[in-house]
Chains A and B, each alone.
Chain A
Amino acid sequence: MVKLRQTVGAHYGLKDWLIQRLTAVVMVVYTLLLLGVALWNGGMQYATWRGLFDHALFKLASFLFMVSLLYHAWIGMRDIYMDYLKHVAVRLTLETITVLVLIAYLGWTCQILWGRT
């Protein structure tokens, strides 16, 4: 562990480390669930596929999967930027764009799941 803690409200990344793993577990569960449904139905015709997404609970599970995926992607991309981009302005710009894009994806997800079809 870090011994010298700075008194500047610095985050040491433990929370992100943990969230990265918890979101991964959520995605594993959802992936196996979807795979199970696909195998059970012997593939996915339109009616089965649409019917699955008409279930309120499946919508909710899909939403939680996407929130996990987007948060997981944020931490992963932030780690990559921190490793390779030493120029603060460049890094901050890319981080900002990444966050905005991910939030936009969440909006798109809501539209797909609950929007008028």
Chain B
Amino acid sequence: MAVAEPRAMKRRPVYLNLAQIRLPLPGLLSILHRISGAALFLAGIPLLLAGVAASLASPESYAQLKSWLSNPLAKLVLIGFVWAYLHHFCAGIRYLFLDLDTGMDLPSARRSSVIVFAVSLALTLIIGARLW
């Protein structure tokens, strides 16, 4: 890329003060997509496997897991992972549409990012309320 368009490399504004950057909504969606993905890898996958293993092993271990998850702190953590999965899921579907060249203009891209936040947060609320 650098070889093909040397002029584009010249004098771009660089402003990387993390404390002052105000991301537009699609930018916030993007960084949360990355953060939720990393969290799902670091803690989500091992917890998922441990949870599924315990839930399937025996009726006793299923009941044991259920009683652990009745702890309010455990519920909050679980709801956190539900949100991470749903945000990553919805934002990912948005990216699939963008890859298909759908909704590429700025107003559409902003609207779809609003939809991603609305849907993922609403579903988190519904599932969270059921879990609680």
Contact = CB atoms under 8 A, between A and B. Distances in A.
A33 to B, nearest CB: 14
B14 interface: no
Given A3-B3, A21-B99, A112 B41 contact: no
B96 A21 contact: yes
Contacts of A50: 56
Interface residues of A, number: 26
A109 B37 contact: no
A25 B53 contact: no
A76 B93 contact: no
Contact of A112 (B45, B49, B99): B49
A24 B52 CA distance: 21
A94 B49 CA distance: 22
A2 B5 CA distance: 11
Interface in B52-83: 52-53, 55-59, 62-63
Given A69-B45, A76-B37, A80-B34, 16 more contacts: A4-B3, A21-B96, A27-B89, A46-B55, A46-B59, A49-B62, A73-B37, A73-B40, A98-B41, A105-B45, A105-B49, A108-B49, A111-B53, A112-B53, A117-B56, A117-B58
Interface of B: 1, 3-4, 34, 37-38, 40-41, 45-46, 49, 52-53, 55-59, 62-63, 89, 92-93, 96, 99
20 contacts: A4-B3, A21-B99, A24-B92, A24-B96, A25-B96, A28-B89, A28-B92, A28-B93, A46-B55, A46-B59, A46-B63, A76-B37, A77-B38, A80-B34, A80-B37, A80-B38, A105-B46, A108-B53, A111-B53, A117-B56
